[in-house]
Amino acid sequence: MRYDLNLLPIFVALMEERSVTRAAERLGMTQPAMSNALARLRAMLQDQLFIRGRYGVQPTPIALELAPVIADALTKLDDAVLGQQDFDPAKAERLFTIAPNSYVEYVLAPAIVARLGRIAPGVTLRLTPYGADLAETGVVSGATAMVLGRIVDPPDNLVVQHLMEESLACVVRADHPEIGDKITRKQFEALRHVNVVPPGRLRAGLFQALARQELRRDVAISVTNFFAVAEMVAVTDYCATLPRLICRKLADDRRLKVLPAPVDLGTFPVEMAWHMHYRHDPAHRWLRSLIAEVASDIAGDI
């Protein structure tokens, strides 16, 4: 039997999105064209495949059985074709959509963009929010090239690469009336704190580190991004506990001073993850290498 290979990515999109509308948007198709493709899929595979439900479409038992087979076949085909292609960063013109968490966007993204500008001026990045769940980033479906941050419980279709380890330090205003060149545990627990609550797992990492050391923190205010911390700490007697590389950036602000945490709060990983069908894409592989080099250089400067 002959199979129309053009229909297989449509099957995958419908399986992952569970919506004809979202699958059409993901593939850049009109909804009527997607409905027509679904009809041809049903005829080719001799099954309804997807049945309309209250919140979209639901796969039939046969669709569920076929899904891993089709996904594996497309991955192998991508690997075979893309593995034969060359990539010249100096001449390439390509847009990558990546999803960094707020830490990576602040610490790594500027250095990544600067390096791209020097050696691959035609390669550009579009940053999309990391969100609270990997599926929201688009990396699980492959719509987003990669996600950067702390990767917890990734699905089987993601490849995860460790980039570096990061630690924590404290920031107070330079002329703080109670804090000198160090901060004790007693002082830390007596101070009021600025808490950063970005989406994703970074927030949980700090809470867990404090809990392991049974270190109490009286939160005065919570902000949603690292950019707000400097202004908040500079005009109060509050303290903030932040990743060390962010503290290093804030150390340039004369209104602030960076101090070691009163106890060892350990480290947390910074990672990169991507859909397995990008494994042998030469351009994607090159970008992964560049990002890993930037992370290594920055971590080595701590």
Q: Set out the domains of the chain in order of their start, with CATH numbers.
A: 5-82 (1.10.10.10), 94-162+272-300 (3.40.190.10), 165-268 (3.40.190.10)
Split at pLDDT 50, 70, 90, the class of 165 is very high
Whether the predicted pLDDT of 75 surpasses 90? no
Q: Specify the pLDDT at position 246.
A: 93
Q: Specify the pLDDT at position 197.
A: 80
> Percent of the chain having pLDDT more than 90?
51
Q: Specify the pLDDT at position 96.
A: 93
Average pLDDT value for residue range 48-72: 87
Whether the predicted pLDDT of 58 surpasses 60? yes
Split at pLDDT 50, 70, 90, the class of 199 is low
Total-model pTM? 0.72
pLDDT digits (tens, 9 = 90+) for 271-298: 999 988 788 788 999 999 999 999 999 9
Q: Specify the pLDDT at position 143.
A: 81
Q: What are phi and psi of 185, to 5 degrees?
A: -60, -40
